[in-house]
Amino acid sequence: MSVPTVSDAEAARRALHALRREVGKAVVGQDGAVTGLVIALLCRGHVLIEGVPGVAKTLLVRALARSLALDSKRVQFTPDLMPGDVTGSLVYDARSAEFSFRNGPVFTNLLLADEINRTPPKTQASLLEAMEERQVSVDGVGRPLPDPFVVAATQNPVEYEGTYPLPEAQLDRFQLKITMPLPERNDELAILARHAGGFDPRDLEAAGVTPVAGAADLAAGRAAVQRVTVRPEVLGYLADVCRATRSASAVQLGASPRAATALLAACRAAAWLSEREYVTPDDVKMLARPALRHRLRLRPEAELDGVTADGVVDGVLTAVPVPR
């Protein structure tokens, strides 16, 4: 296997920037969410996307999938979805009188797990091994998943009837949790103008969204990200930010070492996308919220007082000294 060169890395960076622009043909005003997805792709990480209905969560992932020359599948998570419906199952073949394994939709490069909190914990847990080990075990046999493999899951934060909150172990498998806010007025006007001009979110081909990056670009980008350096003082700052969440008065469970490594990987990818070969404290500040918000468990009394995980992270960033 050949080692990606500097020119490969530059071409990959151009392709991933083009990918962000391509997604923008379908989704308006969600640049932060698009960047977060690209960072996760570079880090082999998974993304949890949260937002109220109608802010284009599903459209965002569909546009990303179409902009990538990769295989993608969508699973609509429902209360009656079974684990085998996601991972695959053994099927009896009457002609051969044997059981054979039929791949589930998880055998893809980009899996859209739509409304993941609408399915029971048993089915949610079926993704744990796939997300962590990049394989599925059925009947004692491990079956590797394609590379790359990324899960982009969506959930609605305001509707709780008929939902099953994700357990801590599952949340910790997501590198980033991206929140998609309601658009600003100018962005909403741009959305309306597109629809008035005939834009159909169900027909991305007609919208001009085409593949602009592929597996080779991701491989070259991932190799380049590994060459991004982190100075000891920046590494200490990142560690201090994560450690400070554990002693915050409103927090019952703070950021784990896995959270720190997820934040570190995201910072290196963000630095490379910004054409830097080193991580800065600003990278840590920019990505602390999406990397840590879903890993903090607040005390019940703090939640009653209106404290949020984002608020805790902001307080920590204010309190921890920034290296010069």
pLDDT digits (tens, 9 = 90+) for 85-104: 999 888 877 777 788 888 89
Quick one: average pLDDT of 21-50? 92
pTM here?
0.90
pLDDT at residue 234 tops 60: yes
pLDDT for residue 159 is more than 90: no
pLDDT of residue 313: 97
**Per-residue confidence at 1, pLDDT binned at 50, 70, 90?**
very low
Pair 261, 39: CB distance under 8 Å: no
Q: Which residue has the tokens 């896995």?
A: 258
CATH class of 1-76+111-119+147-207: alpha beta
- What pLDDT, in 10s, does the model give residues 239-272? 999 999 999 999 999 999 999 999 999 999 999 9
Taking alpha carbons only, the member of 171, 300, 312 closest to residue 247 is 312
Segment 169-198 shows an average pLDDT of 93
Where in the chain are the domains?
1-76+111-119+147-207, 228-324
- The superfamily CATH assigns to domain 228-324 is Magnesium chelatase subunit I, C-Terminal domain (1.10.8.80)
Q: What's the per-residue H, E or C state across 241-275?
A: HHHHHHCCCCEEECCCHHHHHHHHHHHHHHHHHCC
At residue 8, what are phi and psi to the nearest 5 degrees? -60, -45
94-103, 109-118, 179-188, 236-245: least confident range: 94-103
Q: Respond yes or no on whether the N-terminal peptide bond of residue 121 is cis (omega within 30° of 0).
A: no
| Half-sphere exposure (Cβ direction) of 28: Cα atoms closer than 13 Å | 17
8: pLDDT strictly greater than 50: yes
Q: Residues 163-197, buried b or exposed e (16+ Cβ, 10 A)?
A: bbebeeebbbbbbbbbbbeebeeeeeeebeebeee
For residues 27 and 59, is the Cβ–Cβ distance under 8 A? yes
